[in-house]
Chain A
Amino acid sequence: MVSNYDFRNLDFEKSNSGDIEVFDRSNKKEPIAVLKKISSAAIDTLDIVIKGDVVKVSKSQFQSALQAIANKPNIDVSKCVSNVMATLTGQVDVVVIGELINKAAMPKLPPPPPPPPTASAANKSVDLMTNRPPPPPLTTTAIAVSSTGSVVQQKDEANAKTATTPFTPPLPEIQFKHMFPAPAEQLWTWCVGKYPMKPEQFLFVINAKADDYQAIIKNDPSKVNPNYEILLHKLYDKVAEMFLKAGNRYGYLDARSRSAEMLTFNQAHPLYNFDQAVLQRTDPKMSAVGAHFSHFDTDTVKGHHLRIDQRKFDNDTHLTNVLQFQINHVARGKLKAFINAIKEIPPEILKEKLPALLKNCDITITEVPYVFKGKNPNNPSSNYTAEHGFTPKITGTPPTSATIIRIEFKGLGVVEIGANEGVVIFKALANNVVASQTAAQPPGVAAAALQQMFSILGLGPVLAPSRAEDLERSKIGKLFHVFYPRDSHEMQATEEFYELPIKDLMAKIIAKQPKMKDVFEKYLKEMSEIEVNPGQFVWSINLSEEMRKKGGVGLVMGIGAIGINKFAPISEVANQLISMFNLGALSTVDRLQTGAFKAGLSSVDDLVQGGAEQVFTSLVTQNLLKRNISNFQFHGTVQLVIDLDAVNQGCYGYPVAIYGKKNITDADVKGFISENDDIPAEATKFLENMNNTSPIDLVTNIDGYAANEGGPINNEVLLKNRIPPQLFRGVVLRSENEKAELLKILAAKSVKVEKIKGIDTIIGPNGIKIGIHVANPKTAAFNAAMWNKL
């Protein structure tokens, strides 16, 4: 198959017989084509054999171009390729064996297919951004190659209708003459609808629109339209994928490079003055948790959330910006092919084709261990190093490390992406992206350079402020995910979840799960955002009210357990507790990212299983208030009491501990029930739908399971990233002696304690109030009053 073969991938050498042998740069052992009879003035056609297919090319098209090659004993590959291109195409930008767009001469098109159903409205609209007049008649010329490569023949005006097309597309192909005048929004609709389009034509059209737009904003910078820039970026992303599918790496690179320059980073952009923005957003009292920025990106970055730290590494004297975010499964799934495409492009071409801020940069791609660099625990002002850090490893001989794909843009920065292949996949890290660059860049440059790296890698417009529709999509996605986790996961694993118009997406969700209609009606309008980290906003759903109606009381978290009924002394736990009053309750991943952890930690199970991004809590219900605290399997030296409102940031959970596993299938549930055949059948029925249960129904299931199982209470309710300390309501200690010891430690650390409503109350940072309670776990239960706000 030679469809859409790109000439620039070819290398030419003269053989002993005088023929020109053509090689693919990726494999120079065997020629893929032999050019015959180059020197004969009498020839009318050339037979070019490309990968077993014979291509008949007219003398007039090829002779002059190839003559230059034939006469050169030492062939300058780039020159002869460009000569071939120039002669064949009249200096067009993209040359592909296939239909060629020729600006100079455009013969008539064959009749167009019927317009796609979604095209009609947009065809009537005017492209306000470009206001471009209809293009001159389009022609196809030069060489036609069948999509299967089985028949290849010359195609020109005379015989254009004879071109063979053995593949009948399910949708009408969008032809250039329709494509060219269509507004960018219409082009996007066609992309999402998966209408066939020729990538080289499509790129030509997008380039024209981008050129027009850039000319407008060059003349009048006030005309910058961030949403239009995002749309152009996403169109380039689409055409890049088309080129990749067609095996055309150079077309792919062209599209990516143009996309990288689409976004404007002017003073209106929230990251224009990058360092200052990070500094302003970082709380000096909790700098370890970094600066958080919400409402970025369109559909790739999970939660539209970026975390940025400024850190000194190793022996550096300068600061480095470290930007971290997570990407969804669909985006992660595509990345391998994107990175491979970059790898396969010859370095000299890659360097030349990179966008402006990356131009001539050497790119190296390696897979290396995943290191959370840490500070020396005995020296808080030390730099972050691997020596004091943590590389998650699985025991074995040799141990298996978590790894990252490291893409270095030499001298400019590094982008690292968690590996998602191997013997063991660290699920909690596989979708993690970390980018770093030296701080103190000129205004606008830091963000623009990072964006160009992301664009080249196919991560999309990561640093573009989200559009209203992106945020609306995330609201809908969150509701679906919270109420029907399994159904939601299945749909969120598809590209259309991120591309369908909002109304169509809602309709699709309701078709999949009809009860979502009521959920949308009830919750969608009232959803608002809450701050889980300074600067990190998530959609809030009023789940706690419904959960309370079902009997939910609050959340608890045991701190200091070191085995079943084994507890660390309060002296060890107090430090962790005080740290939590500042930082909040952090997930394993968030804790590792602070780099301020103690030595000796071995948190890998939840990194592998996927629950490491979650904060683990247990739900206490009215019924469970009748059970002693020691019945809660995860109780500790101290029980941290957390307001049930914490669930409103979104959560999931199970009546039984399964390590916070996410996205579990029905088969996983059956497997779990089968393995745990000692669980009574009456209890098992509360597990059967546990992968598709809302937090509201979870209350009923937790009660039902606990009532019928009879063993330790080990339900788990998981909240992403962090529970802010403002939601801590109290701590429950095991004895008056331990309370006295805690009070002593708090006093030594200058943590204020006041009596409020008769309860000794810790006054934490920002005035948070945490009641101190005492209850012997073996003889006492939790009390609903422990969750009262003081």
Chain B
Amino acid sequence: MNPTSLTSNTLTPPVKSEVQYEDVYFIENGAKAEIYGPIAINPTIFQHAISWNDTSGNKQLKFSKIVELDNKKILKITTKKGVEITLIALTLDLFNKSVKELVSGNPNFKNDQELKDYYLQGKFLQ
């Protein structure tokens, strides 16, 4: 499903039709970390879980609530365990400020598009 067809709202499980956000997000942990990596590629919600890929594999979380904000640029997830995680659509500014030091090789990107292509086209693969 195209995310633009979603209205800004709160999702609760079970989500019967797959919802996929075609973007790369920065993962901001709350006080208690449940996910440790900083990058979520193409998050997808289906039934009771939200999943995404990072550069090494697929991650999946059971959720109790997901709130879409700012035209789905921000996804506030409350996991089934009650842990809060926020996904923020990655921009170059946000990457340089919060992600660059967390990933290998401290890569530089010229603009948002190059950054997004890097992760959304799988250019990080060896």
- Point out residues on A near B: beta carbons under 8 Å: 372, 374, 377, 387-390, 393-396, 399, 424, 559-569, 572-573, 575-576, 579, 588, 597-608, 616, 633-634, 637, 657, 659, 675-676, 678, 711
A572's partner among B81, B98, B104, B122 (CB-CB below 8 A) is B122
- Residues of the A chain whose Cβ atoms lie less than 8 Å from the Cβ of B80: 675
Q: Which of B20, B42, B102, B121 contacts A395 (CB 8 A)?
A: B102
Task: Give min CB distance, B101 to chain A, whole Å.
Answer: 7
By size class, the interface of chain B is 35 or more
1/0 contact string of B34-62 vs chain A (CB within 8 Å): 01111101111011100111111111101
Residues of B73-121 contacting chain A, CB below 8 A? 80-81, 98-99, 101-107, 118-121
Q: A393 is contacted by which of B27, B52, B102 (Cβ under 8 Å)?
A: B102
A591 CA / B22 CA spacing, docked (Å): 28
Task: Determine if A568 and B55 form an interchain contact, defined as CB atoms under 8 angstroms apart.
Answer: no
Which residues of chain A are within 8 angstroms of B33 by Cβ–Cβ distance? 394-396, 424
Chain A residues in 8 Å Cβ range of B16: none
Decide: A605 and B14 in contact? CB cutoff 8 A.
no
Is there an interface contact between B104 and A563, defined as CB atoms closer than 8 Å? no
* In the bound complex, CA of A225 to CA of B42 (Å): 61
CB distance from A556 to the nearest CB of B (A): 14
Binding site for A on B (CB under 8 A): 13-14, 18, 20, 22, 26-29, 33, 35-39, 41-44, 46-48, 51-60, 62, 80-81, 98-99, 101-107, 118-126
How far is B13's CA from A64's CA once the two chains are assembled, in angstroms?
85
User: What are 6 inter-chain pairs, A to B, with CB distance below 8 A?
Assistant: A562-B41, A563-B44, A564-B18, A566-B20, A576-B125, A602-B102
Which residue of chain B lies nearest to A393 when distances are taken between CB atoms in the complex? B102
- With both beta carbons as reference points, the residue of chain A lying nearest to B33 in the complex is identified as A394
The CB with the most chain A CB atoms within 10 A, among B20, B33, B51, B102, is that of B102
- CA of A579 to CA of B125, assembled, Å: 11
Asked whether A390 lies within 8 Å of B103 as measured between CB atoms, the reply is: yes
Bound: A634/B118 CA distance, A = 21
Task: Say whether A597 contacts B52, CB under 8 Å.
Answer: no
Q: What's the count of A-B pairs with C-beta under 8 Å?
A: 158
In the complex, A243 Cα to B106 Cα: how many Å? 47
Contacts A394-B36, A598-B105 known; A572 to B121 CB distance under 8 Å?
yes
Chain A nearest CB: distance from B117 CB in Å? 11
CB atoms of B123 and A634 under 8 A apart: no
List 19 extra interface pairs beyond A395-B36, A579-B126, A605-B59, CB under 8 A.
A374-B104, A389-B104, A394-B33, A424-B33, A559-B125, A563-B42, A563-B43, A563-B52, A597-B104, A598-B126, A599-B103, A600-B103, A600-B124, A601-B124, A602-B104, A604-B37, A616-B57, A657-B60, A675-B80
Q: Residue among B29, B53, B105, B123 with the most chain A CB within 10 A?
A: B105
Which residues from chain A contact B42 at a C-beta distance below 8 Å?
Answer: 562-564, 566
Asked if A597 and B20 make an inter-chain contact with CB atoms under 8 angstroms apart, the answer reads no
- Least Cβ distance of A602 to chain B in Å? 5
Given A424-B36, A562-B119, A676-B62, residue A602 in contact with residue B55 (CB < 8 A):
yes
Measured between C-beta atoms, what is the minimum distance from B65 to chain A in Å? Answer: 15
Residues of A within 8 A of B14 (CB): 678
Complex-state Cα separation, A564 to B62, whole angstroms? 16
Given contacts A395-B28, A563-B44, contact A602 B18 (CB under 8 A): no
Q: How far is the CA of A562 from the CA of B39 in the complex (A)?
A: 11
Least Cβ–Cβ distance between B43 and chain A, in angstroms? 8
CB–CB B36/A608 < 8 A: yes
Complex: chain A residue closest to B100, CB-CB: A600
Given contact pairs A608-B36, A678-B47, A597 touches B126 in the complex (Cβ within 8 A): yes
Q: Which of A399, A659, A711 contacts B101 (CB 8 A)?
A: A399
Distance (Å) between the CB of A714 and the closest chain B CB? 8
